[in-house]
Structures are given as C-alpha cells and as structure tokens.
Chains A and B, each alone.
Chain A
Amino acid sequence: MNKKIIVSLSENTAEAVRYAAYVCTDDFWVQIQPSGNNALEVIFSSKKDKNINQVEKRFTEELADEKIREKSRMQNIATSEMIIRNAISRFNPSFVHDEQPALSAEQEQELDDLIAEVEKELQDEMNSSRNNDPMHITQTWEEVNRNGK
C-alpha cells in the first residue's frame, strides 16, 4: 500500500523535503516527483510490515525539524567554516618525509665552537654585572644562599 503526500515548494525547499524523506527510508521506500506547479509528490510504500499510516506524522515532523536546521545553518555557516579553515591551516600538507641532511663533521665542529663562544660571552657578561651588584639583587635566592652570602 502507498501513501502520497503533496508538499508545497513555496513553504519548503526541495532539499528539506529530500532530507526529511530520506530519514524515513529505514521503514519505507520513498519516491519523490514533481507535482503540478511548485509542489512535490512524496510517495511512501511500506518495507517489511510497517504501518503505512504512521509515515505521514513522522515525515511532517522531520520536515519541520529540517526547516529549523536550514535556518540555523544559514545563520552559522560562516562561523563553522571559519573554524574549520583555521583548523586545517594548522596541518602540514606534505605526506613525504623530508629529513634534514645530517651535519658534516666540519660543520658540527663549527657549531660547537660557536656555542662555546656565545656561552663564554654570556658568562663574562654575568660576571661583570655581578661585580657591579654589591647587593646581589641580580642573583637568585638559591645562588645567594648556596654561596653562604
């Protein structure tokens, strides 16, 4: 047995009708076709032993929900897309591993020397600033106490 429901397209979008009908396909077969001017005919037939009379209420409720979703979606699509765009921009799109070539022994030595030089400069600077710091205010509590000062 079939159930035909006519839905006006001036009050509903074809999308909303399609989505609302799809949800009912767990229990019913559905066919959607144009019906005259500005309307759709949705024809349900029962799968298994589902009572065909239940379908109208269910479909009507689904259609009402769908209208709310459409409205909400229109209001929020820009926000959702902005968040997803922001999220996707964090990914590295390369799938292939790009291993940095290891440093040669010579380059490694050069790097070690450079680090040692910078460390020495820092140490010198700290020592000289401490000499100008009779109250030890540039030292940490631990340093002051460790030295028994």
Chain B
Amino acid sequence: MENKKKPEKFTLLFQHWKKYKNKILLTNDFGGNVEIPGEEFESICSKDCSLAVSDIPQELLDKGFAAEMIDPEKHSLSWVKRHCNVMMAPVLHIMVMTGRCNMQCVYCQAGSPGKQDKVLDMSLETAKKAVDFAFNTSSPVLNFEFQGGEPLLNWKVLADTVEYIREKEKKSARTVSISLISNFILMDEQKADFLLKNEITLCTSLDGPEYVHSKNRHSENDISYGTVRRWLKYFKERHDNQKGNSYRIFKPGAIVTVTKNSIGHAKEIVDEYVSAGLESIYLRPVSKIGYAGRNWNTIGITPAEYLDFYSEALKHIIELNKKGVTISEQACIIFCSKIFDAGNGGNYDVDSPCGAGTGQIAYNYDGSIYTCDEGRMLAMEGDDIFRIGSVDDPVEKVLTADAVRACKCASELNAQAMCSRCAYMPYCGTCPVFNYATQGSFAGDMANNMRCAVNRGQIDFILELLKEKDNEAILKKWITGSY
C-alpha cells in the first residue's frame, strides 16, 4: 500500500474573509465558515498563510480551509451541489399566458398594461410549441410555471396547455411539475377543481394585513385581500382533507413584496401568514424596475430600511418557531442551504452564475423566449436585450444565445471585482437584469448595488443568528423540511 507522507505544514485557503469587531469571518467555496480572532489571522498571514500541523485549529481542517486536506471528490461534489445550474438545460419553464392583468399593483415590474388588449394573450398553438420546446431540452426535470399578467384571464388556453403537458408527460420519462401564480380574482370552484386534479401548485401574493396589502395591490372595488384570503383558506382545506383522493393536493403558497407601505409592520405581516395557515413566507424587497421604478418616490425603500424590516421579521419568525408554530422564511432557507452545504436552495436568482437561460427560461405570450422572467418583464417595458429566441428556434441555438452567455459571465461572482473578495460569495448571487435595469450593465457595480447591500445584510444577520444553537437547529429543520 502506498505510504502517503503526512504533511508537516498546512497551507491555508484564504480567499474570502470579512473583518469585524476584531474578529475575522473566513469562508470558502465549499460553504465552510469559521470565525477566528483577528490576531490569529494576522499571525497566520505573517507565516505565509501556512501553519505547522500541531498549530492548526481543528475547525479549519474540518471545514476545508487547509489545501493539503482537500478531498477532490468531496469538494467537487459540494461545488456541483451549489452550482448545479451552470451547465444544465433549464428546469423552470415560465409561461406567460397573457400580458394582461386585472390589477394594478404599485410594484409591478411589467408595466401593468390593463386587461383589455387580447393581442397580449398566448395562443394555444404558441403554448404547445413552448411545451414542445421544453420537452426538447435535456433536463430530466421540468417545472412549468404559469404566470402573467394574470394567467386566469386566458383560462381556456391555460387549461388546454395543462392537458397537453400531462399528455406529453405520460409518453416521456421526465419528472414534471406545474405551478400557477395568480391573484385569484377570477378563480372559481370549477377552475380550482381542474387545477387541483392536475396536481398544480398554487401560489399568490399576500403582502400582509389588509391595510398593507391593499395599499400595494390595487384591484377594482378593492377585492384583492378578501379574495386571496378566501382562496388560500379553500386550497388549504382541500390540502388538509385530501385523504382518499387519487391525486395529490399541494399546500398553497404566497410571497410578500416589501415596499414603503410594509415598513413598521414586519411582525403583523408574519402574523398574517400564520393566521392564513401558511407555513412559509418569502420576503423580498421591491425592485426599482418597470412601473415600480416610476413609483419609487412613493414605494421605494433603502437597503437599510429593508434590513431593519427583515431582521425584525426573521427574529419574530424564530420566536414563533420556539413556541411551536410552523413557519419558515424562504430567503433565509436559500442562504442557509448554502451555508449548510445542502445545495442552492432551489433558487436560481441567488446563484453564481445565476440561472438565466440555464436554470430557467421564460416564454412570453407571443412565443419569444427570454433568459428569465425578469428579462421578460423588461421586454414589456420595451427593452428586448434579454430575448434569446423564439419557440420556433432550435433548442441549442436558444440556450447558447448571446444573452445567456453574457448573463453567465456577468453573474459569475469569481469574475466580479468585489464579490470575488467578499466573505459572502459562497452564499450569494447577483442578477444581471436587476444590474442592467438599475446600473446600466449586466455585471453592475457591486460597491453601489442595492441587491448586494441587501444580501450582505441578510447573510450577516443569519450568520449572527446561527451562533445560537437553538436558532441553528430551527434553521436546519427548515432546510430538511422536518418540522
């Protein structure tokens, strides 16, 4: 047997770190993070970043900071887990059934074109071509997400497309899931029944109690809040009483967009989710894109305002968990999945490179294909820069289009001046559409980027929370889903 000589010294992999309160937070590309005293860091650096075997703290060895202890198999698998979207065909296929909408939310990114103009509807022929396109890609898992505008405004095409997908699924070896993002205003029992029987996951927007929700989400006669609560209750009851069904009913979900109207109401917004029986909340700050950008003076928030809001909400959620309430927060799950080396949290926006054109693509109502939904929304504002082809084009051509490649280069954090040095790089991601819309380039300028400031603050806060064992246990439970 080969007698491998034990090294006398270990070389330390110090690429990403952050100094604070005389401590150093070290992170590495495999999710490992360690906090060491400032003096220890300086002493290691003064010794050419290498230490005698007897002097090296065990934690640094265990967490992959010693070059000589790197296990190429284990560490490359860890890399694959967190960057699995890099060279895959898209899993998420977003289908914009119509550009029309029956609401006018203050933070809409897609320009709110109203509900009249039927030329903004996807035809069944285009929808089928989009489905065929998805099945022609090599991804073994396909997730179709129906969106809008408001997709229920084009119900007949939506329903026929669902049936078409389920038919194709039967003849293929793919794992297929379907979800629908809707404001529920046009929902009725017949539609609900059809959707549930086809095992469609339903998701809506609930921005908090009525006095917050209705300020953000404008609908005719202000019916949005009541409608959303009523249908969430309906779908939750159907989920809870599904025993004996021949089909699976999934829990309904909802997301929150945080605007100036939400500030000061963090706890109430979380409590609203708990009272609606929802077990997960996804907090996201409003983006300065599209109609939201034009409304910025009335709805815009600063990163500092958002981070105050977020930390208050997350603290409250953890307190609720300690009292036995089942509720998790999605942004926290995304970051923690990476911190605990459990993959990318199933999210393509906070990834390096981002999932534009690889993790996901978006089919607009007219058959144009975009790198992602955000890129498609920008097109609704008149800028087609993220268009990568159409449903009539060959798959290979679309998925290797210039905009896909540009997004990959721009969102690869190792190639970003600030990110490649940032302690949070292993957990973070940047969005070329956001960068382009707010800073004029795909790569953006992280030193002055709102999303960067928000990510930095969120990860800071989460790492601080993780110092308490109780909190760590709760956040780990969220990731494994073992409530």
Contact = CB atoms under 8 A, between A and B. Distances in A.
Q: Do A and B come from one complex?
A: yes
A94 interface: yes
Nearest to B395: A96
Given A75-B11, A75-B49, A95 B400 contact: yes
A73 B15 contact: yes
A72 B49 contact: yes
Contacts of B45: 68
B14 interface: yes
A87 B67 CA distance: 17
B36 interface: no
Nearest to A47: B448
Q: Which of B29, B89, B447 has the most CB of A within 10 A?
A: B447
A97 B447 contact: no
A23 interface: yes
Interface string B442-456: 000101100000000
A79 B445 CA distance: 29
Contacts of B12: 72
A83 B74 CA distance: 9
B15 A72 contact: yes
A146 B13 CA distance: 59
A69 B15 contact: yes
A64 B75 CA distance: 29
A82 B72 contact: yes
Q: Which of A65, A68, A87, A98 has the most CB of B within 10 A?
A: A87
Interface string A79-112: 1101110111011111111110000000000000
A24 B19 CA distance: 15
B172 A23 contact: no
Contacts of A96: 89, 136-138, 394-396
Q: Which of A66, A84, A95, A96 has the most CB of B within 10 A?
A: A95
A76 B77 contact: no
Nearest to B83: A87
B79 interface: yes
A147 B174 CA distance: 43
Nearest to A61: B19
A76 B67 contact: yes
Q: Which of A23, A25, A68, A98 has the most CB of B within 10 A?
A: A68
A25 to B, nearest CB: 4
B138 A86 contact: no
Contacts of B87: 88, 91-93
Nearest to A19: B417
A95 B138 contact: yes
B75 A75 contact: no
29 contacts: A23-B418, A25-B447, A26-B448, A69-B14, A69-B15, A69-B421, A71-B48, A71-B49, A72-B12, A72-B13, A72-B49, A75-B11, A79-B13, A79-B67, A80-B13, A80-B15, A83-B76, A87-B83, A91-B86, A92-B87, A93-B87, A95-B138, A95-B395, A95-B396, A96-B89, A96-B136, A97-B89, A98-B138, A99-B172
Interface of B: 11-15, 17, 19, 29, 45, 48-50, 67, 70, 72-73, 75-77, 79-80, 83, 86-89, 135-139, 172, 394-396, 399-400, 417-418, 421, 445, 447-448
